[in-house]
Structure 1
Amino acid sequence: MSLREERKQQSRQALLDATLVLSSQGRAFSSISLREITQAVGLVPAAFYRHFKNMDQLGLELLDQAALHIKGVLHQLGPTDFSLNQLADKVELFFQKVDAYPQAWIFLSAERWGGSMFLRQGIEREIHYLVEDLLHGLQQIPALQPLQSPVELRALAQILLPLALNWAMDWIHLQTQIHPASDQAAFAHFKAQCLTQLQLLFCGVLSSPSTRTTDLQ
């Protein structure tokens, strides 16, 4: 890649990052102007069109990046044997990943119910793909082999993904209310609640008679 092309890529990413910063401050994507974004990165408004056709294209690029990040997080969590220690490790890793890139979770969660129709539609498509990826991951877990019905496994994936999104947003919100260094007990309590939710969910799943699946299909 030439130096000129590298600089162009840096400018493009700077525009994306600036939009995410505004989004993470509580701004709806539909309320963010092209002028605000370019001003934030020190570009003239006309320079925007060297990188994006319009704001819709920028929004879809942000969505792609956010969904790809979340997909990677779910993949890194990987299979589990549902032991208490392993579930606790998964919860801890999950929140480490949220801390590493909170803007992705904020953007996808906020814009899912935001004012931009094209983004809402795009997010629903991405959530469908994320559910399918999660479904594939669940199929690799030996303990869930009795639930090989796509109907039940997909239903489980459709529970787990919104749960992850809610956890991420609640965790991010908690950090705005409590300074990380001031009250570690509040963060530990929140993680313990999440762990309890997982235990209860999978306790029910693993005790569910697999014979129900034939009636659902």
Structure 2
Amino acid sequence: MSIREERKQQSRQAIIDAVLQLSASGRAFSSISLREISRQIGLVPTAFYRHFQDMDALALDLVDQVALHIKGILHQLGQGYLYQPDAQTETALTLFFKSVDQRPHQWIFLIAERWGGSTVLRQAIAREIDFLIEDLANDLQRVESVQHFQHAEDLHVLANILINLSLNWAMNWISLGQQFEAEKLQQQQQHFIQQSITQVHLLFRGICHWQRPQPI
């Protein structure tokens, strides 16, 4: 990659990072202006169009990048508590929450804008979450604890539950960091991890005994 291309990529990423920072501060994407983004990163407004056709194009690029990151994290989490739920749940969840701490802005953006004011964003995020659910449902077919499932629809329902549970965990974990400090935060986080472990174990105990009700 040439120096010019590298600088262009850095400038493009700076725009994306600026929106994520504004989102993390509580701003809805629909309330963020092109001029505000440009001012925050020291870019003339017209330079924005070298990277994105308009704000909708920026929104779609943001969703793609954030969804790719979250997909990787959820895949790692799945390796732990789906394939060895009893032995690896605490380790997998601890790693999951550490990954949320490393890049919280991505999670905040996806979760906040999932029900936000931008139609383009809502539709794009819904599409990406559907992809996450579909991928997980396919992975679940190889999991020993669900081999007794006889309907693909049941796997899809389970994947939906797990994806939404993961998003809920991430947002609650981030909220703890905003509410508590130092020693109190550590206590609250450990309590939350234990609660999450209990949720996983309860869920998978039920899965082991699942039988689809007979139609009336």
Smaller-chain TM-score range?
Answer: over 0.9
Instruction: Measure the CA separation in 2 of the matches of 1:117 and 1:180.
Output: 39
Match of 1:197 among 193, 196, 199: 199
Instruction: Measure the CA separation in 2 of the matches of 1:52 and 1:181.
Output: 44
Residue 33 of structure 1: aligned partner: 33
Specify the code of the residue in structure 2 equivalent to 1:30. S
Match of 1:171 among 169, 173, 176: 173
Residue 17 of structure 1: aligned partner: 17
Partner-residue secondary structure (3-state), 1:133:
helix
Instruction: Measure the CA separation in 2 of the matches of 1:180 and 1:69.
Output: 28
8 Å Cα contact 1:81/1:143 also seen in 2: no
Residue 72 of structure 1: aligned partner: 72
TM-score (norm 1): 0.93
Structure 2, unaligned runs of 5 or more: none
Partner-residue secondary structure (3-state), 2:26:
coil
Instruction: Measure the CA separation in 2 of the matches of 1:105 and 1:154.
Output: 23
Partner-residue secondary structure (3-state), 1:52:
coil
Match of 1:82 among 66, 78, 85: 85
Give 1:143 deviation, angstroms: 2.0
Give 1:180 deviation, angstroms: 4.2
TM-score (norm 2): 0.94
Identity %: 55
Give 1:149 deviation, angstroms: 2.2
For residues 174-198 of structure 1, the C-alpha deviation after alignment (integer angstroms, 9 at most, x for no partner) is: 1001124444211100111111111
Instruction: Measure the CA separation in 2 of the matches of 1:180 and 1:163.
Output: 26
Partner-residue secondary structure (3-state), 1:147:
coil
Residue 95 of structure 2: aligned partner: 93
CA RMSD of aligned residues (A): 1.4
Instruction: Measure the CA separation in 2 of the matches of 1:179 and 1:139.
Output: 42
Quick check: 1:58 aligned with 2:61? no
Give structure 1 regions of 4+ aligned residues with deviation exceeding 3 angstroms.
180-183
Match of 2:126 among 124, 127, 144: 124
Specify the code of the residue in structure 2 equivalent to 1:102. P
Pairs aligned (count): 212
Instruction: Measure the CA separation in 2 of the matches of 1:148 and 1:177.
Output: 44
Match of 1:151 among 146, 150, 153: 153
For residues 80-121 of structure 1, the C-alpha deviation after alignment (integer angstroms, 9 at most, x for no partner) is: 2221x3111121111011112111111111001100011111
Give 1:70 deviation, angstroms: 0.9
